[in-house]
Structure 1
């Protein structure tokens, strides 16, 4: 093994569905810090599965912002849109295990089911992000009905049968979280997320599926990302075990929050680096705002 292959590998993986904001600057700087600390390599991965909102113009803007900030990567940018076949193969493997089913309920259907349930004074279970878990309506459909709906072109997503997947994994799942005090073993709880989406009619892969496939394909050894993805790591460890993919170590860093306490969002145009640059901020100012 060459010295370059044995070095730790980090990645910064922004979704180019909007302009980068201060939270992205923090995350890439955290990755740069750890890559330098461990003498590792840092890769840039463009997460552009959403072919409607992710545009070449936004990708170019993101790369230009990162260059302006002084970030240097150890390879040319990689793009998820170049690897749709990899995600399809992973989905096929899960399907062959009997762990995936077509889900036909729309968001409106789910909203109605939850509302009807909760009018009776009960509380519908929700995932760690607060979204209602998907009903078991489609999971209970007989195979003949499923095939008929598919043959009729009924719009659908593909979801993971979480109960069956956890049984198939057949072990107590954990992930390794590293920090200033060393490495901690964190117990994973993927069932808290219910039957997650793996693929939709308008996207060939979900974030959960693509991220584990990408990290394995690129040989990522250290995943440094925000605390908002801490609980999602449970799902990623489950998929890694099911697909026989290597396990990276993780670090979930602090977040930069808006004045009202919410997470920064591209959709709200929060503290976009473009706007800060236009207001006269310099790279050193951005680093200072991020605590570097």
Structure 2
């Protein structure tokens, strides 16, 4: 049996060669764009490209000119830019426009690899059991287990439940396995997001196991404190664009770096002295408004 392909891939639509921006930028720049996607996916940079590496990404004759062309047509940004949907980087980097809208983020790749690893371990266990069953050993064990169950007056269903629980444990991280009952910090942020969504006029969402898992990963893996997560939620739901997008912990986790950078830029652009809160923050208390601008 051939070994499963473990390489990663980027998504490129079949109309890319005829895209007006690619045509305007030119052939060499178009190839640099593809090479940039591959680099960001391979290195898990979420679309950020160090400028010093651009000459190494392609064998084109003028990589710097190609990079400038990609920035000019809007396929790339300078590291410090004004695009509301893309993360910012330093002055020594480029950012691929809308990379995270079409490609997997670093966090998503890490989750996918963990799931594949867990599935592989379970698959290997099942394959070994199948080989033993073929030799007759598995049948003997089942017969023995059945005899013992009858003697004890028990049923076979609990054995199936135990196996299911073990399989679930292998698919969780240690932190997730220990999260019973639900953690206070995770519940606090989940309930705050649900309340903010409800205050916005939508039906209050149900806090599911996936909500708790994604929020826990935001706190434990990404290192975002509960207070900062709540501040990001408040800031996003006071923004005309983001209030329609940050509706789940998964989306909050994916977009948190972008929200934080945009909030920072907003604070920098505000003139000194007391400010009147924007109209869409008028429903907040003063404490909530300050928190929504600082995370």
Instruction: Please state which band the TM-score falls in when normalised by the shorter chain.
Output: under 0.3
**What TM-score comes out, normalization by structure 2 length?**
0.27
User: Which one scores higher on RCO, CA 8 angstroms, separation ≥ 6?
Assistant: 1
**What TM-score comes out, normalization by structure 1 length?**
0.27
More strand by proportion, 1 or 2? 1
More helix by proportion, 1 or 2? 2
